[in-house]
Amino acid sequence: MLAKYRGPDALSRQLYERASRVMPGGNTRHSVALAPYPIYARSGSGCRITDVEGEERVDFLNNYTSLILGHAHPQVTEAVQRRAALGTAFTMPTPEEVELAELLAARVAYVEQIRFCNSGSEAVMLAIKAARAFTGRHKIAKFEGAYHGMYDYAEVSEGPTPDAWGEADAPASITEPGTPASVARDVVVLPWNRPEACRELIERNKNDLAALLVDPMPLGIGMIAPRSGFLPWLREETKRYGILLIADEVLNFRLDYHGAFHTYGITPDLATFGKIIGGGFPVGAVAGSRVIMSVFDHTGALKVHHGGTFNANPVTIAAGLETMRQMTPEAFDRLNHLGEYVRDGLRRLFRDTRRSAQVCGAGSMFLAHLTTEELIDFRSLRGFSRTNPVYSDLCHTMLEYGFILSPRGIFGCLSTPMGEAELDGLVEALGRALSELD
């Protein structure tokens, strides 16, 4: 299936050569990079993508978890076409934004008020600014290895190399190139699943911390689940010091109809959304209690400016509304059961083939690690993390077998058009791909 892609006349190769002349790295989004060049997509339908060479594969990445209904879902496509014909952007609000805001507020207990933006990164930025404005404090805390998008402060220590780690109980704050070093001083980096170290770091910074930013199942930390009691403990600890808890649900809102934090029985102060709530279009949202969200209220003592030419554009909102309507509690349950089915299938494969591996993930997502080491935090992933070349080799072999997975880990997520046949196919193909690597 990769013969044409690898061939001298490959259309993907030609497109990449042209892209490299006009785009640095031939790319406009690092997460789609693939060596030696990406496979360019032509179209998608249901759970399948057809590439420019005409090859069709089952898509287990779903634009990095954002397409929960798969590609070109008929009702979403119709809603978008209907809306686009009526105009796509105005210097006026549209009725759709009110409807999506009402829908999310009705579903998620900790969403009293909400504002839309165009990406998860923006949502995280707005939540952090809101927390600073509300508390009058300047620092934030986040977990080492956790990815929260591109805002300077949220990016700190999102994937530091071991030489830069610093103390295990007080991880170093590492900024990304292009970010002023001063940003590092305002970010307290915490080790995932280590309450003793977290307690000490939070206590030391308690008067300066505006917020703790947390994703309950962080992809950057290998989807290592929070230890029992860890998230409730964080909730109590932050409440004690008046530190706002920001739930980053950009990726993990696909876990539950009522929101990811609902599954852990926790009420955060602020929450960020993105990905699935845009139905395949660019989106983000920041939400929380009425009193905290009042920092955005221009009719009151406005504290945080919120602009954005395309915020809540009606095309995104129409796609998001239709997607959310399709995602009933039953649809979430079915998809999460399929998630359990594929994680069980992977565990069985590893057991039957006596392979050193563990399966993480929850809901409709899976992430398998080729190790039997105890997985606790970001550092425990050392040696078999996303940078291990075995994953890109596996990704290529799986592409050959007709499945799209991440080149940075055995990571994938499901969409509603999938059934057991696709999941059985994936597990069987992965077994073959792993044995080829031996």
Ligand X SMILES: Cc1ncc(COP(=O)(O)O)c(C=O)c1O
Pairing of strands 113-117, 410-413: unpaired
CA distance 105 to 99: 10
Nearer to ligand X, 274 or 314 (CB): 274
CA distance 310 to 284: 11
- The answer to whether 158 contacts ligand X (rule: CB under 6 A) is no
Does the N-terminal peptide bond of residue 36 adopt cis geometry, omega within 30 degrees of 0? yes
Nearer to ligand X, 68 or 251 (CB): 251
Nearer to ligand X, 266 or 349 (CB): 266
Interacting residue with ligand X among 59, 96, 215, 377 (CB under 6 A): 215
CA pseudo-torsion sign 418, 421, 422, 426:
positive
Interacting residue with ligand X among 10, 47, 58, 124 (CB under 6 A): 124
- The answer to whether 147 contacts ligand X (rule: CB under 6 A) is yes
Interacting residue with ligand X among 63, 64, 103, 393 (CB under 6 A): 64
Query: Which residue's Cβ lies closest to ligand X?
Result: 120
Nearer to ligand X, 148 or 194 (CB): 148
Neighbours of 328 (CB within 10 A): 11
Site for ligand X in 375-394 (CB under 6 A): none
- The answer to whether 201 contacts ligand X (rule: CB under 6 A) is no
Neighbours of 56 (CB within 10 A): 15
Q: Could you report how far apart the first and last alpha carbons of the chain are, in Å?
A: 21
Interacting residue with ligand X among 231, 246, 251, 318 (CB under 6 A): 251
Q: Which of 167, 114, 102 is nearest to 284 (CA)?
A: 114
**Residue labelled with tokens 């805002």:** 151
Nearer to ligand X, 65 or 193 (CB): 65
CA distances from 181 to 186, 321, 362 (A): 10, 41, 36
Site for ligand X in 273-302 (CB under 6 A): 274, 284
- The answer to whether 148 contacts ligand X (rule: CB under 6 A) is yes
Neighbours of 305 (CB within 10 A): 9
Quick one: tokens of 308? 């954005």
Nearer to ligand X, 49 or 217 (CB): 217
- The answer to whether 250 contacts ligand X (rule: CB under 6 A) is yes
Q: Which of 325, 258, 414, 275 is nearest to 100 (CA)?
A: 325
Nearer to ligand X, 64 or 241 (CB): 64
Q: CB–CB of 212/271 below 8 Å?
A: no
Interacting residue with ligand X among 38, 44, 70, 120 (CB under 6 A): 120
How many residues of this chain bind ligand X (CB under 6 A)? Answer: 15
Q: CB–CB of 344/352 below 8 Å?
A: no
The region of 141-149, 158-166, 288-296, 408-416 touching ligand X under the rule CB under 6 A is 141-149
Nearer to ligand X, 175 or 371 (CB): 175
- The answer to whether 248 contacts ligand X (rule: CB under 6 A) is yes
CA pseudo-torsion sign 177, 180, 183, 185:
positive
CA distance 434 to 367: 15
The region of 39-47, 113-121, 296-304, 330-338 touching ligand X under the rule CB under 6 A is 113-121
The region of 72-80, 142-150, 310-318, 390-398 touching ligand X under the rule CB under 6 A is 142-150
Q: Where does this chain bind ligand X (CB under 6 A)?
A: 64, 119-121, 124, 147-149, 215, 219, 248, 250-251, 274, 284
